[in-house]
Chain A
Amino acid sequence: MNQRLIIHLDMDCFYAAIEVRDAPELAGKPVAVGGASDRRGVLTTCNYEARKYGVRSAMPTYMALRKCPGLIVLPTRFDVYRAESARIRKIFRRFTDLVEPLSLDEAYLDVSRLTHPGAAIAAEIRGRILEQTGLTASAGIGPNKLVAKIASDWNKPDGQYEVTPQTVAAFLRDLPVRKLWGVGDISAGKLERLGARTCGALQAFSRIELHGIFGKFGLELYDLCRGIDNRPVEPSRPRKSLGTEETFPTNLTSLQECEARLASLHAGLLAELAEKEASREIHKLFVKLKFGDFSRTTVERVGDRPLLEEYRRLLAEGFARREQSIRLLGLGVRFAEEPAAPEQLALALEPSRAGFPGT
């Protein structure tokens, strides 16, 4: 394979950064986005000011507030995040068609075809993101996805790190094995007992030894700890559904209020359908609702035309399911899959309850 040039771009605490950008008075304060102060809520993201207090993503909100009583917790605004994400992806696509988004705030770019040095490309992309969105991103540049992804963490936030084919070996020498894919607590523990805490130490093991310890994954580890990864950057696969949604700053309390919002969401859905999936056959329509108490419901119906009055009916049905205010309203379509084929029935095999007698 020719030498590739892969960039992993990772937005810095994306959702929190958007909130701070949109409310400058929050600058310099600990800010998190997530499930309000509700006991069951968890944080989606928090900014670096909050991290100083030990606050982390996915931490229950009440726990985060205990660590950092001054933490400002804002509700998520996914429509805004999605819009920003779309703007950022547009920037990526100006550099290459080979963009593989991992989530709203992360993507791999294969920029092998560009003639500029990797660091210059990454700096240019990050500069354009900052210029157009006011948000900072970090980048890792490497000969493959594995190395690029690890490198993007190196000078985070608002930084970048390049690992060239010549420096891959040095980069990996002291890298903890835990940073590799597929190495979780169990594998890392096993490796530590074998004296392999770093990739460098792991490199001392032969393929045969690693196969003996981890089976097939051992052979993969042999490559990973040497920074070898041949997986291509793959632009996304066909989607199964397409939808749009809005979280309201204050909950909607009547069906009429919801209906008023439905029309603009519906228009947005039609526009997105026309832009992205104009040729797909629609199988189902759905409306999803998130209530004041964070419970959710989805109402769906078989139909091949995304008509506003159908969505009105679905909304009324969903609204009637709970006597609750509405936090979020979403609507969308599910696409038809291949025509139904006769179904092969399965044997009712259950795992045996009794274990095998020992050999």
Chain B
Amino acid sequence: MKFSVSKDKLVQGLQTVQNVVSTRTTLPILSNVLLQAGEGEVRLTTTDLDVGVRGAVEAAVERPGATTLPARRFLSIIRELPTAEIQVEVDSKNQASIRSGPSFFKILGLPEEEFPPLPKFEDAKVFTIRQKDLKDGLKKTSYAISTDETRYVLNGILCSFKDNKLTLVATDGRRLALVDIEMEFPRSHEVDIIIPAKAVTEIQRLLTDDGDAKLTVGANQVSFEANNTLLVSKLIEGNYPNYRQVIPNEAKERVTLEREIFLNSVHRVSLLASEKSNSVKLVFSRNNIDIMANTPEVGEAKESLPVQYKGKELSIAFNPEFLMAPLRNLSNDEIFFDLIDEMSPGVLKIQSPFLYVLMPMRIS
């Protein structure tokens, strides 16, 4: 195998696939990137067996072929090379020679055959979705994915395709984020799948604001294709909990807030939320919220915000991180916060199909 390639393009291509490569893998081949030189391009593939990513970079291929090379080391070398154009040549023993002006590197690879193939799809359902919609939906929900490995069905995002709508749901059992995306598909395509957190992170990196993405759902895997890159992931097996029932039907009190101002206030006050209790208290009164926190033997913080609020006086405590996470991931200026009482979930909403249900903290 022999090809020359632009340094910048190769760096970019490797960066796209290298996140999947684990540093502490017990299986050496999974630390490697598969290089396949074919007509006018070199395909780059990585996998950790759960998630696999394949991209391609334009290259002048002199002799086609394939090998695998240690991904991180390869990238760290390419990044430092002195010339814009570089040559890569791999011999039959999978030794790669990298030439760039005065520089010469030789690194040892492993044979292509050892690299686990990306799974094949049979009887798959294919969807087309606007990249921007999906990217935006994942941003608004993915922070709520549970990291508790004992609740493995929650370690991913539920994608529910139903009634010409994709509903994305993420929850860790204390808060829940949900987005609806309008799209079109036949009724026979209605399906619920759970995409693992790691794949969600990679998909977000892959998506841009323009064009469509192709989404293929198989029996226990899913693939995303966008911008000349393919991502394949196993699905989380199991039933997602019945999330509809935790969404309150109606709110008693609604307060309208300016997102950024509210976020900044909560953030400032949370500086004095104690590590142990990690809560901020919100006291709602007529057209005002007091945001408060304290740490015993350290001190306290309080901030007052003028708001539109005409409901009854209400005092409720939240984990500040859980309160700030959606505020950071939304872009709207105006948000609505619906409340019932100090022991019931609060719901953050915006002018589009999104909601965030957050359970309060009980202060003894």
Contacts and interface: CB of A to CB of B under 8 A. Distances in A.
A binds B: yes
Contact of B242 (A340, A346, A350): A350
A200 B317 CA distance: 58
B241 A350 contact: yes
A191 interface: no
B277 A341 contact: yes
Contacts of A340: 364
B174 interface: yes
Q: Helix, strand, loop or mixed for chain A's interface? A: loop
Contacts of A347: 171, 173-176, 246, 345, 357, 359
A342 B277 contact: yes
A356 B220 CA distance: 13
A100 B267 CA distance: 45
Contact of A207 (B26, B125, B193, B220): B26
Given A351-B241, A352-B239, A357-B192, A345 B219 contact: no
Given A340-B364, A344-B361, A359 B193 contact: yes
B345 A343 contact: no
B192 to A, nearest CB: 5
Contacts of B193: 359
Contacts of A355: 239
A170 interface: no
A1 interface: no
A223, A339, A347: most-surrounded residue (chain B CB, <10 A)? A347
Contacts of A343: 361-362, 364
A342 B175 contact: no
Nearest to B274: A341
B151 to A, nearest CB: 9
Contacts of B218: 359
Contacts of A222: 26
Interface string A213-236: 000000100110000000000000
Interface string B334-364: 0000000001010000000000010111111
B159 to A, nearest CB: 11
A349 B171 contact: yes
B125 A344 contact: no
B174 A351 contact: no
A340, A343, A353: most-surrounded residue (chain B CB, <10 A)? A343
B123 to A, nearest CB: 8
Assign chain A's interface to a size class.
20 to 34
B77 to A, nearest CB: 27
B49 A208 contact: yes
B277 A359 contact: no
A348 B363 CA distance: 19
B288 to A, nearest CB: 23
A218 to B, nearest CB: 10
Interface string B254-278: 0000000000000000000000111
Given A345-B174, A346-B359, A347-B171, A359 B246 contact: no
A338 B276 contact: yes
A359 B220 CA distance: 8
A208 B241 contact: no
A352 B242 contact: yes
B116 A208 contact: yes
B243 interface: yes
A203 to B, nearest CB: 15
B39 interface: no
B173 A349 contact: yes
A128 interface: no
B102 to A, nearest CB: 40
B26 A219 contact: yes
A195 to B, nearest CB: 22
B240 interface: yes
A139 B283 CA distance: 64
A349 B277 contact: no
B148 to A, nearest CB: 12
A356 B194 CA distance: 11
Contacts of A341: 276-278
Contacts of B277: 341-342
A89 interface: no
Nearest to A348: B246
Contacts of A208: 27, 49, 116
A311 B272 CA distance: 43
Nearest to B364: A340
B126 interface: no
A359 B171 CA distance: 23
Interface string B48-72: 0100000000000000000000000
Nearest to B153: A351
Nearest to B241: A349
A211 interface: yes
B245 A344 contact: no
Given A208-B49, A357-B190, A359-B193, A344 B239 contact: no
Given A342-B362, A344-B174, A349-B173, A359 B217 contact: yes
Given A207-B27, A208-B116, A352 B241 contact: yes
A81 B140 CA distance: 59
A353 B362 CA distance: 29
B131 interface: no
Contacts of B285: none
Interface in A307-359: 338-353, 355-357, 359
B276 A351 contact: no
Contact of A359 (B125, B240, B245): B125
Contacts of A219: 26-27
A344 B323 CA distance: 13
Given A342-B363, A347-B357, 6 more contacts: A341-B277, A345-B343, A347-B174, A348-B246, A349-B246, A352-B242
16 contacts: A211-B49, A219-B26, A219-B27, A339-B276, A340-B364, A341-B277, A343-B362, A345-B174, A345-B359, A347-B345, A348-B245, A348-B246, A349-B246, A350-B241, A352-B241, A356-B191
Interface of B: 26-27, 49, 116, 125, 171, 173-176, 190-193, 217-220, 239-243, 245-246, 276-279, 317, 319, 343, 345, 357, 359-364
**Considering the complex of A and B, which 4 residue pairs feature the smallest CB-CB distances, nearest first?**
A352-B242, A345-B359, A349-B241, A347-B246
